[in-house]
Every structure is written in C-alpha cells, then in structure tokens.
Amino acid sequence: MYQFEYHKASSVDDALKKLSSADDGKILAGGMTLLPTMKQRLAAPSDLIDLAGVYDLKGIKVDGASVTIGAMTTHYDVHSSAEVQKAIPALSKLAGLIGDPMVRHRGTIGGSLANSDPSADYPAAVMALGATIKTNAREIAADDYFKGLFETALEDGELIVSVSFPIPKRAAYQKFPQPASRYAMVGVMVAETADGIRVAVTGAGPCAFRVPDMEKALTAKFAPESVADIKISAEGLNEDIHASADYRAHLVTVMAKRAVAEA
C-alpha cells in the first residue's frame, strides 16, 4: 500500500471540499473494494476522505410508497431492518446474500453503487425496482445510472446521498453465487411495480441490465413458464475462469424462472 493522507469528513459538504482540494482523492465508504485494491497496489490515491462520521448518510426511512436508504447504511442494516423486511422482502434478502458477515457489516449501499462492480447484487434491485439515486447535486433514475464496466452516471465531485426504492406489489431475487467470493455469477430480480413488470440482471454483463422480452412475457402471464423458453444472447456477456458467456446466458433464464416462482 502506498502512502496517503487520511481525512475524516464531518458532512457531505466537508467531504466534497476535502476531495476537491486533493491531488487524487478518493471517497472511503465501507472500503470493501477500495482498501483491497490499495493493498494490492492497484490504486494509489493521494488522499482518502472517510464518510464514517457523516451520520446524515446513515439510516432507513419507509413511507407509504417507498423505502429510502442512506448511502452509508450497511448491507447488514438493510438485511436486518424489520421495516425493509416488511416493505420489500426481496431487498432484505438480497442484502443478506452479499459477501460474508464482515463485508455485510462494513460494506455500504452507496459504496457498492458508486463502485458498480459488474457482479454486485444491489444493481439488480436498483434496476428491477426502478429506484432513484439521489446525489448531492441531483436525482438519477435507475435506467440512466449504469453505463458500463465500473462506469456510472456519477460525475466528478458527485456523491451518492441516498437511494429511494418504490415499494413493489411483489418482487424476488435469485442469485447463482461464485462459491469463494459469493459475488453474483448471475443474479436476477423480478418485480411487479406500479409501472409494470421489470426484470433486472447483474453478474452476467459489464453492468446491470433489463430483459424486455421477459418483462413482456411476464406482463401477459406472471408465471415461471412464461420465461422458460426465452434465450439470452451470450454476445457481450462476461466470461472468465468461473463461467463462460454461454453459461451465464443460460443462468439468466434459470435464475429468472426461480425468481418468478418465488415472487
């Protein structure tokens, strides 16, 4: 790990001020991705700005139509929240499937979405539920947020403040995890929202994406057999030592069927 300056932010404005004055600063949320990357000397920021003391970024609020989660809320807190379990059980389940206990107690929803790892779980929920990502500057709709491999709509100096999930009529998440890391080789969330059926996939491609053919089929009939014969093209999907693009394409259909059955 290379030498760096450590700063503890007291507010969002303070964090952004410290970030703008650094040569090559990075925001530290849970640190579950950034710190290992630094230890491997794959990243060498000049400054780390820690958000742990920005308490306004933590917490969960549920009203009649949505669940709003602060960016510094941990995966464990999302999973264990009785309010989330009641309002969106699928979101609680998804958070409980992330990594291992250490990751769930340290990792945050804002950090996960800002990093946008192609195998992260939260992107499937954000896309499937039609969430809105609120930053210090604006609100970004889920369909406009994920741009590519580790690429999002966030601009320089923009910080996630919270994520608002509309409460669906029903939803479910099914994940095929990589055995060692517990990352999603493929994860699929299916949701029936006020705006219709949404099917979102993580782990299979460079970033989360929706499957319009499945959404159309499930709108006609919400049943596992509606998606059973829908084939996903392997073109452009992820391929590594754990799974080929063809296998990931196959898993999308399998996980979608299971999610529909659970929902």
pLDDT, one tens digit per residue, over 120-153 is 999 999 999 999 999 999 999 999 999 999 999 9
Summarize the confidence of residues 46-71 as an average pLDDT: 96
What's the pLDDT score for residue 152?
98
Kindly give, in sequence order, each residue whose CB lies less than 8 Å from that of residue 192, ignoring residues fewer than 6 positions away: 168, 169, 170, 171, 222, 263
Q: How far apart are CA 96 and CA 84, in angstroms?
A: 12
What's the whole-number average pLDDT of the chain?
96
* Whether the predicted pLDDT of 1 surpasses 90: no
CATH fold of 55-166 reads 3.30.465
Q: Which residue has the tokens 């790892």?
A: 117
* Whether the predicted pLDDT of 114 surpasses 90: yes
Convert the pLDDT of each residue in 83-106 to its tens digit.
999 999 999 999 999 999 999 999
CATH fold of 170-262 reads Enolase-like; domain 1 (3.30.390)
Residue 198's nearest CA partner among 166, 176, 175, 225 is: 166
Q: Would the CATH topology of 5-50 be identical to that of 55-166?
A: no
Residue 172's nearest CA partner among 188, 196, 195, 193 is: 188
Is the domain covering 5-50 a CATH 3.30.2350.10 domain?
no
Q: Are 204 and 239 in contact (CB under 8 A)?
A: no
Q: Are 18 and 11 in contact (CB under 8 A)?
A: no
What's the pLDDT score for residue 181?
87
**What residues does each domain of the chain span?**
5-50, 55-166, 170-262
Convert the pLDDT of each residue in 162-202 to its tens digit.
999 999 999 999 999 998 888 999 999 999 999 999 999 99
Residues of the chain with pLDDT > 90, as a percent, come to: 97
In order of 94, 154, 184, the CA distances from 141 in angstroms are 20, 12, 23
pTM of the model: 0.95
Q: Which two tokens stand for residue 69?
A: 């989660």
Summarize the confidence of residues 65-89 as an average pLDDT: 98
> Most distant CA pair in the chain: distance in Å?
58
Q: Are 145 and 126 in contact (CB under 8 A)?
A: yes
Q: How far apart are CA 177 and CA 13, in angstroms?
A: 38
Q: Which residue has the tokens 């990792």?
A: 107
